[in-house]
A = this chain, B = another copy of it.
Amino acid sequence: MSFNTFGKLFRFTTWGESHGPAIGCIVDGCPPNISINENDLQKELNKRKPGQSKFTTQRKEDDKVEILSGIFSGKTTGTPISMIIYNKDMRSRDYETIKNKFRPGHADYTYFKKYGIRDYRGGGRQSARETASRVAAGAIAKKVLEKKLGKKYKVIGAVTQLGIIGCDTKNWNEKIINKNPFFCPDKSILKIWEKYLLGIRKLGSSCGAIIEVRVRGVPVGLGAPIYSKLDMDLASAMMSINAVKGVNIGAGMNSSALTGEENSDEIIQKGKYPIFKSNNAGGILGGISSGQEIIVSFAVKPTSSILKSRKTIDKFGKNTSISVKGRHDPCVGIRAVPIGEAMAHCVILDHFLMNKAQCGK
Q: Is the CB of A239 within 8 A of B235?
A: yes
A15-B68, A72-B124, A208-B263 are known contacts. Are A311 and B268 too (CB-CB below 8 A)?
A: yes
Q: Is the CB of A299 within 8 A of B254?
A: yes
- What size tier do the contact residues of chain A reach? 35 or more
Q: How far is the CB of A252 from chain B (nearest CB, A)?
A: 4
A315-359 interface with B by 8 A CB criterion: 317-319, 333, 353-359
Cβ-based interface call for A56 (8 A): no
State how many copies of this chain the complex holds.
4
Q: Is the CB of B161 within 8 A of A257?
A: yes
Cβ-based interface call for A57 (8 A): no
Interface mask (A208-232 → B, CB under 8 Å = 1, otherwise 0): 1110000000001101111111011
Q: In the complex, A106 Cα to B266 Cα: how many Å?
A: 11
Q: Is the CB of B288 within 8 A of A255?
A: no
Cβ-based interface call for A119 (8 A): yes
Cβ-based interface call for A37 (8 A): no
CB contacts (< 8 Å) of A223 on chain B: these are 110, 114
Cβ-based interface call for A97 (8 A): no
Residue of B nearest to A353 (CB): B357
CB contacts (< 8 Å) of A109 on chain B: these are 220, 267, 274, 285, 290
Q: Is the CB of B267 within 8 A of A80?
A: no
Cβ-based interface call for A11 (8 A): yes
Q: Is the CB of B20 within 8 A of A69?
A: yes
Q: Is the CB of A256 within 8 A of B29?
A: no
A57-93 interface with B by 8 A CB criterion: 68-70, 72-73, 75-82, 84
Interface 9-mer from A41-49, A171-179, A187-195, A276-284 = A276-284
A263 contacts which of B81, B250, B301 (Cβ < 8 Å)? B301
A17 contacts which of B79, B260, B287 (Cβ < 8 Å)? B79
Q: How far is the CB of A50 from chain B (nearest CB, A)?
A: 18
CB contacts (< 8 Å) of A245 on chain B: these are 231, 248-253, 255, 281-282
Q: Is the CB of A259 within 8 A of B200?
A: yes
CB contacts (< 8 Å) of A23 on chain B: these are 69
Q: Is the CB of B111 within 8 A of A31?
A: no
A110 contacts which of B16, B226, B257, B286 (Cβ < 8 Å)? B286
CB contacts (< 8 Å) of A202 on chain B: these are none
CB contacts (< 8 Å) of A22 on chain B: these are 68-69, 82
10 contacts between A and B (CB under 8 A): A1-B1, A16-B80, A79-B119, A106-B285, A106-B286, A109-B274, A232-B236, A235-B247, A260-B306, A264-B306
